[in-house]
A and B are shown apart, each in its own frame.
Chain A
Amino acid sequence: MIELYHVWKRYQKTHWALSDVNLSVKKGEFCFITGPSGSGKTTLLKILYREVIPTEGQIIIGGKNIQRIPDHKIYTIRRQMGIVFQDFRLLFHKRVLDNVSIALRVLKTPARDMKRKTFIALRLVNLHHKIWDYPSQLSYGEQQRVAIARAVVNNPRILLADEPTGNLDPELAHEIFGLFREINKEGTTVIICTHDKELIRRFGGRVLFLHEGKLSEKDSS
């Protein structure tokens, strides 16, 4: 599903964010990438959705070398992914419905399907009753659930989450990780960047550890 071969990323002349990263994630896997701040977790995720181009190395997703995809076609890769951020990245001037359905709108989904799929995604995160609310009317936890609904509404093959619970209290964080587990059970490959060791321990799964740009595998226990 996802393969990285000898991936290096240098930001300045001497600062290597990633050093010779090799990784293989199978379809339907549930993975954590952990490590201290500045260890390269976000860079690794950005490389996966091609927000950042590696200095060296190859990235194969679904059998395609994503570096060979021209810039104007990069949307073909991103449509297979759902991305969740620590800061939610919601549109505060749009309703919950529009925030979630935006991911379907870009796919030219017919209006009726769009409403149905949006409702299903919001029901998954238990926010279907807040469809007409604005994000500012929701709590942080609810806002993150809207962001998750947006990430999964088009049934992506891969779900990437960058510190999705960084702004939430432990109870909400547990709830959000539970959602990721449910989504994973449907067959979606889930990769979560977090440094919350307690949650990793509770939810299990494959754990990859990044330290100073070097990736190593850890036992979740």
Chain B
Amino acid sequence: MILQRTKYFLREALDSLWHFKTRHFFSLTIICLSFVIIGVFLAMSNNLRFKARELTKNLTVVFYLGKDVPASRRDLIEDEIRRSPLVSSVRALSPEEASAKFIEDFPELKDIVLNLNANPFPASIEASLNNTGILTEKIFQFIAEVKKNPGIEDVEFNRDWAEKIGSLGRLAEAIGFFLGGILVLASFFIISNVIKLNVLARQSEIEILRLVGATNAFIRIPFLLEGAMLGIAGSVLSLFIVFLLIKLFPLYLGTSLGALREIVGFRYLTLVQIFGILFGGGSVGLMGSLSSLARFLRI
């Protein structure tokens, strides 16, 4: 009996979806667009946060040396760094090695570097830190100590980067939810109005159902299913489009991204996010139908 009823409700909802296909196409498009925007920003946020986590796993401090620092001073600084209990390994990079590394990372910029009269890259000492939950304060103390050595011009600590990238990820997520949220709200009103039009178009059918003794639920369920189906179909379509964008965007950009390709790693949404979007789509559709039925379907 339940199966028979479910079949009937589904058939009624599908019939209506097909019957009013033009207006349903427009609502499907707007739902899809809303969730594509949320999906794209979520994927961006995922990638940035992933990169931030990666960076945190490999904490490094790079001390950039002045151009006229003699080799003996460089060795002294390297020794001091190596002695710190926070440091697991140290690597010194001459200006030539730094230049070669840059060209390896960004091959498309090779010509620019080679055409310069002088090597713009300073010598540096890269200290990899032990990854055993070291407090940032201790690292800053260590950096301050090393920085006292004459000859060190600049320091780059990748936890700063990790934090900056992490914040960027959170910002991307917030922008996605803000823009997507506005569109989801628009989808809600569109679904609500589409269902209202469907209710009005099927007034005679509703009338007949009422007169043959249908319950409120019996009349309303197909409309609710219709809204939910629209929402779910829109979100499924948006997931597919986000997937395509993630797969095709790197191809479109080609190799021009270079090392940046690693930063924007084009990872897809997590399973929780996928289910979240599907649930969101279904809910928007269902709520849109409900609001419409509450206002326009007086039984």
Contact = CB atoms under 8 A, between A and B. Distances in A.
Contacts of A89: 204, 207-208, 211
A150 B209 CA distance: 11
B215 A105 contact: no
B5 A78 contact: no
A89 B213 CA distance: 15
A66 to B, nearest CB: 13
B142 to A, nearest CB: 73
A7 B255 CA distance: 86
A162 to B, nearest CB: 11
Nearest to A153: B212
B214 A106 contact: yes
B8 interface: yes
Interface string B194-217: 000000000011011111111110
B275 interface: no
Interface in A71-107: 71-72, 75-76, 78-79, 81, 83, 89, 91, 93, 102-103, 105-107
Contact of A93 (B8, B19, B211, B215): B19
Contact of A111 (B4, B209, B218): B4
B1 interface: yes
B212 A106 contact: yes
B204 to A, nearest CB: 7
A49 interface: yes
Contact of B212 (A72, A103, A110): A103
Interface string A33-62: 000000000000000010100000000000
Contacts of A107: 213
Interface in B1-48: 1, 4-5, 8, 15, 19
Contacts of A83: 211
A106 B211 contact: no
A75 B215 contact: yes
- Most A CB within 10 A of own CB, among B19, B211, B215: B211
B19 A78 contact: no
A153 B214 CA distance: 15
Contacts, number: 48
A108 interface: yes
Given A93-B19, A110-B4, A75 B205 contact: no
A154 B212 CA distance: 9
A78 B208 contact: no
A75 B213 contact: yes
Nearest to A78: B213
A91 B218 contact: no
Interface in A95-142: 102-103, 105-108, 110-111
Given A72-B216, A111-B4, A49 B211 contact: yes
Nearest to B19: A93
A72 B217 CA distance: 10
Given A72-B216, A93-B19, A78 B4 contact: no
Given A105-B8, A110-B1, A75 B214 contact: yes
B213 A108 contact: no
Interface in B190-240: 204-205, 207-216, 218
Interface string A193-218: 00000000000000000000000000
A78 B218 CA distance: 14
B208 A106 contact: no
Interface of B: 1, 4-5, 8, 15, 19, 204-205, 207-216, 218, 299
20 contacts: A51-B211, A71-B299, A72-B216, A75-B214, A76-B213, A78-B211, A79-B212, A81-B213, A83-B211, A89-B204, A91-B205, A102-B209, A103-B212, A103-B213, A106-B213, A106-B214, A106-B215, A108-B1, A108-B5, A111-B4
Given A78-B213, A79-B213, 9 more contacts: A51-B211, A72-B299, A76-B213, A81-B213, A91-B204, A91-B208, A93-B15, A103-B212, A106-B215
